[in-house]
Amino acid sequence: MSRSAITRHGTRPVPSLQAGRRGRPARPPHAGHRVRAGLLAAGLFTAGLFAATTVGAQDPGSGPGQAVLIRNATVHTAGAQGTLHGADVLVQGGVIRAVGTGLAAPAGVPVVEADGRPLTPAFFGGITDIGLEEVSAEAPTVDSTLKLEEQPVRPEFDVTLAYNPASVLIPVARVEGIGFTLLAAGNGEAFVAGQGGVMRLDGSPDPLGPRALFVRLGADGAELGGKSRAAQWMLLDQMVAEARGRVPADSPHALLTPAGRATLARYLGGQGRIVVKVDRAADIRQLLRWAAREHVRIAIAGGAEAWQLAPQIAQAGVPVFVDALADLPANFDQIGATLRNAALLQQAGVEVSFSQAGDASHNARKVRQLAGNAVANGLPWEAGLAGLTRVPAQALGVGDRLGTIAPGRTADLVLWTGDPLDVINTAQQVWLGGRAMPMRSRQTELRDRYLHGSGESGLPPAYSR
C-alpha closest to that of 196 among 289, 133, 279, 120:
133
- The DSSP secondary-structure symbol of 111 reads E
| 51 near another protein (CB under 8 A) | no
Helix, strand, coil fractions of the chain, as percent rounded to 5 = 30, 20, 50
Residue 438 has φ and ψ, to the nearest 5°, of -60, 130
Pure H helices in 114-160: none
Q: State yes or no: residue 446 binds another protein (CB under 8 A).
A: yes
Is 327 an interacting residue with respect to another protein (CB under 8 A)? yes
Q: Does 424 bind another protein (CB under 8 A)?
A: yes
- For another protein, the closer CB: 289 or 447: 447
Q: Helices 229-243 and 281-294, interaxial angle, to 10°? A: 10
Q: How far apart are CA 91 and CA 74, in angstroms?
A: 16
Binding mask 162-201 for another protein (x = CB under 8 A): -------x--------------------------------
Comparison of 402 and 437: residue with beta carbon closer to another protein:
437
Which residue blocks in 13-153 are alpha helix, DSSP H?
A: 33-43
- Per CB under 8 A, 8 contacts another protein: yes
Q: Are 102 and 90 in contact (CB under 8 A)?
A: no
Q: Which is nearer to another protein, 66 or 429 (CB)?
A: 429
Using the rule CB under 8 A, is 7 a contact of another protein?
yes
Q: How far apart are CA 371 and CA 421, in angstroms?
A: 6
User: What backbone phi and psi angles, to 5 degrees, belong to 309?
Assistant: -120, 25
* Residue 362 is a binding residue for another protein (CB under 8 A): yes
Binds another protein (CB under 8 A): choice among 162, 359, 406, 454 = 359
Beta carbon of residue 430, minimum distance to another protein (angstroms, whole number): 13
From candidates 92, 204, 257, 338, binder to another protein by CB under 8 A? 338
Q: What would the x/- binding string for another protein be over residues 296 to 325, using CB under 8 A?
A: ---------x-xx----------------x
Task: Decide if residue 462 touches another protein (CB under 8 A).
Answer: no
Cβ contacts of 263-266, under 8 Å, gap ≥ 24: 263/155, 263/156, 263/195, 263/213, 264/155, 264/213, 264/239, 264/240
Q: Which stretch binds another protein (CB under 8 A): 12-20, 179-187, 269-277, 391-399?
A: 12-20
22 scored as a contact of another protein (CB under 8 A): no
Indicate whether 463 belongs to the interface with another protein (CB under 8 A). Answer: no
Which residue type sits at 235? L
Contact (Cβ atoms closer than 8 angstroms) between residue 389 and residue 79: no
Interaction of residue 220 with another protein, rule CB under 8 A: no
Terminal Cα distance for the chain, rounded: 38
Residues forming the site for another protein (CB under 8 A):
2-3, 6-12, 14, 17, 27, 29, 134-138, 169, 280-281, 305, 307-308, 325-332, 334-340, 358-359, 361-363, 365-366, 368-369, 372-373, 375-377, 417, 421-426, 443-444, 446-448, 450-451, 461
